[in-house]
Amino acid sequence: MNLIKTQNPWFPAIVDELFNSSWRPAAPHKGGTLPAVNIIEEDKAYQLEFAVPGKDKNDFEIEVEDGVLSVGLQSSETQETLTPRYTRREFHYDAFKRTFTLPDSIDANKIDAQYRAGVLQVTLPKRKEALPEPKKKISIN
């Protein structure tokens, strides 16, 4: 089972999302954008990498409930004068929440997260049963 659906290359992402979504309303968030996420499958775990520069690790909230991983950000900024004055500001996240349905192969008790250099990395280790078996050599009698 995959963590994410594969987009159809013949339709733009927005059309694919319209036809393949679960029709659940998305969690409200300020700013109108969500951070980009990379999902990497390794032999022993999945790695989720979120691009969220300029935050503190204490701003993030990561939870698992009923097989759903929720990664969110709730930061409070003081209303101060910005220097320089932006005419357009695209990479600023006040709040967001992304959710992922976890496959049964994930060991939810061992999920780990790190925040370094503007990237939040969440490690989703696979259960022992889901790990690939080593190659067996069969002897001929």
Q: What percent of the chain has pLDDT over 70?
A: 67
User: Domain locations in the chain?
Assistant: 13-128
What is the structure's pLDDT at 10? Answer: 47
Q: Which of 25-29, 116-120, 135-139 has the lowest mean pLDDT?
A: 25-29
Average pLDDT, the chain: 77
User: What CATH class is the domain 13-128?
Assistant: mainly beta
Spatial distance between the Cα atoms of 110 and 100, rounded to a whole number of angstroms: 16
Handedness of CA 19, 73, 123, 36 (dihedral sign): positive
For residue 69, the 8-state DSSP code is: E
Q: Which tokens go with 59?
A: 């701003």
Please, how many CA atoms are within 13 Å of residue 62, restricted to the half-sphere of its CB? 19
Q: Which tokens go with 52?
A: 């969220």
Strand partners, 41: 46
Dmax of the chain from CA atoms? 81
What is the structure's pLDDT at 95? Answer: 83
Residue closest to 63 by CA, chosen among 25, 6, 102, 117? 102
Q: Which tokens go with 132?
A: 């690939």
Instruction: For tokens 């204490």, name the residue.
Output: 58
b/e burial code for range 62-72 (CB count within 10 A of at least 16 → b): eeeeeeebebb
Q: What percent of the chain has pLDDT over 90?
A: 42
pLDDT in tens, 13-54: 544 554 554 444 444 444 457 888 999 999 899 999 999 888
